[in-house]
């Protein structure tokens, strides 16, 4: 109990600083409540709590994956077919009709669309992460951000499972996977996971308070898609607009994937830019979540 109490005292301090202004009952001490601050606790988690957190994420991720394959004969096929269908569509529109000058265009499209699919799916699912678990948030105390990881991880695992299809296309075009994939894939997967986790945490938290955000998210994903060089190459962007590519949080990481898949190239400045975006968005997400997580049960 002593460690909990020490944690409480620390929390009480922080709490008091933020809350005193709101206290309208003068003379009544403002302190933190008892054993309630697990997810913003400042003491180190015990071994059991670490095991619990890990299990929580694993079981919730399993659930997401199981759900995708329930009632669907073609579970895996669908996660590949969707970006492939769009690839065909863009191929017809941009290569056949508009005569875009990019060699191996179908491969080029897939190398960008597969990681984009992960990005878009996770962001689109984000608004519903907390909203869809209203009863739990109202009744049960568990680290709420543990609900975010499975959503992002689920789409990430499906993306990784679609890489063999990409390899197939590579072989069709007479090239093969590079050794750099061994470092590149885990590195970029971690980068994109962090980026998406930050995004999803922000969106999921804010959406409880501003329900319009869900509509806005759909719109922003479409915007980002056309601002990210997926159907065109970054060299086609006029020099004076190229900064936009780097300011777009989705672009560096998607471009890094495509570089890796097409030429086996690890473009370090680009990867660094991707991680920088991830860092900023993670910080924003953590701040928003910490500020709001105590209000979740009030608004859902």
Partner 1 sequence: MIAIRFEHVSKSYPRYGHLLAGLKFSLLRFSETFRAFKRDRFMALNDVSFEVKPGESLGLIGPNGSGKSTTLALIAGVLRPQVGNIEIRGRVSPLLELGAGFHPELTGRENIFLNGILLGLTRREILSKQDEIIAFSELEPFLDQPVRTYSSGMVARLGFSVAAHLDPEILLIDEVLSVGDLKFQAKCRQKLDDFKRRQVTIVLVSHSLGEVRGFCSRVVWLKSGQIVADGAPDAVVPLYEKAMA
Applying CB under 8 A, the residues found at the interface with partner 1 are: 1, 15, 19, 22-23, 25, 28-38, 48, 51-52, 55-56, 58-60, 63, 66-67, 70-71, 135-142, 209-213, 216, 294, 296-299
User: Tokens at residue 159, please?
Assistant: 């993306």
**166 phi and psi, to 5 degrees?**
-65, -40
CB closer to partner 1 out of 52 and 246 = 52
Question: Residue 47 CB, nearest distance to partner 1 (Å)?
Answer: 10
Q: Write the DSSP assignment of 190-215 as a string of letters.
A: HHHHHHHHHHHHHHHHHHHH-TTHHH
CB closer to partner 1 out of 84 and 293 = 293
Question: Residue 209 CB, nearest distance to partner 1 (Å)?
Answer: 5
User: Tokens at residue 285, please?
Assistant: 């997400």
Positive or negative torsion for Cα 185, 163, 261, 118 = negative
Question: Residue 216 CB, nearest distance to partner 1 (Å)?
Answer: 8
CB closer to partner 1 out of 65 and 100 = 65
CB closer to partner 1 out of 57 and 123 = 57
Could you tell me if 229 and 259 are in contact, meaning their C-beta atoms sit under 8 angstroms apart?
no
Question: Residue 178 CB, nearest distance to partner 1 (Å)?
Answer: 38
Question: Residue 264 CB, nearest distance to partner 1 (Å)?
Answer: 39
User: Tokens at residue 66, please?
Assistant: 């199981």
**224 phi and psi, to 5 degrees?**
-60, -35
Categorise residue 71: left if φ over 0, alpha if ψ from -120 to 50, beta otherwise. left
CB closer to partner 1 out of 40 and 100 = 40
C-alpha to C-alpha distance for 285 and 281, rounded to whole angstroms: 6
Could you tell me if 46 and 76 are in contact, meaning their C-beta atoms sit under 8 angstroms apart?
no
Question: Residue 34 CB, nearest distance to partner 1 (Å)?
Answer: 4
Question: Residue 2 CB, nearest distance to partner 1 (Å)?
Answer: 13
CB closer to partner 1 out of 67 and 98 = 67
- Pick the closest to residue 149 from 113, 95, 199 (CA basis): 199
C-alpha to C-alpha distance for 36 and 30, rounded to whole angstroms: 15
CB closer to partner 1 out of 19 and 242 = 19
């Amino acid at each position: 109990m002593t460690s909990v109490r020490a944690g409480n005292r620390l929390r009480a301090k922080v709490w008091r600083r933020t809350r005193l202004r709101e206290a309208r009952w003068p003379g009544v001490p403002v302190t933190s409540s008892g054993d309630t601050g697990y997810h913003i606790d400042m003491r180190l988690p015990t071994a059991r709590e670490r095991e619990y957190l890990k299990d929580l994420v694993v079981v919730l991720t399993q659930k997401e994956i199981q759900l995708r394959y329930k009632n669907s004969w073609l579970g895996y096929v669908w996660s590949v077919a969707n970006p492939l269908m769009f690839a065909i569509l863009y191929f017809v529109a941009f290569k056949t009709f508009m005569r875009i000058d990019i060699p191996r265009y179908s491969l080029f499209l897939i190398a960008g669309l597969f990681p984009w699919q992960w990005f878009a799916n996770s962001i689109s699912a984000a608004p519903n992460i907390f909203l869809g678990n209203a009863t739990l948030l109202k009744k049960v105390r568990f680290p709420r951000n543990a609900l975010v990881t499975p959503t992002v991880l689920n789409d990430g695992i499906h993306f990784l499972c679609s890489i063999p299809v990409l390899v197939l296309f590579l072989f069709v075009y007479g090239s093969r996977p590079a050794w750099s994939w061994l470092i590149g894939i885990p590195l970029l997967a971690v980068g994109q996971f962090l980026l998406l986790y930050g995004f999803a945490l922000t969106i999921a938290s804010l959406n409880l308070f501003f329900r319009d955000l869900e509509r806005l998210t759909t719109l922003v994903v479409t915007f980002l898609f056309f601002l990210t060089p997926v159907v065109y190459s970054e060299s086609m962007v006029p020099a004076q607009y190229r900064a936009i590519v780097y300011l777009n949080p989705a672009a560096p990481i998607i471009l890094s994937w495509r570089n890796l898949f097409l030429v086996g190239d690890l473009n370090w400045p680009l990867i660094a830019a991707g991680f920088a975006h991830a860092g900023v968005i993670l910080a924003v997400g953590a701040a928003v979540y910490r500020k709001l997580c105590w209000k979740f049960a009030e608004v859902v």
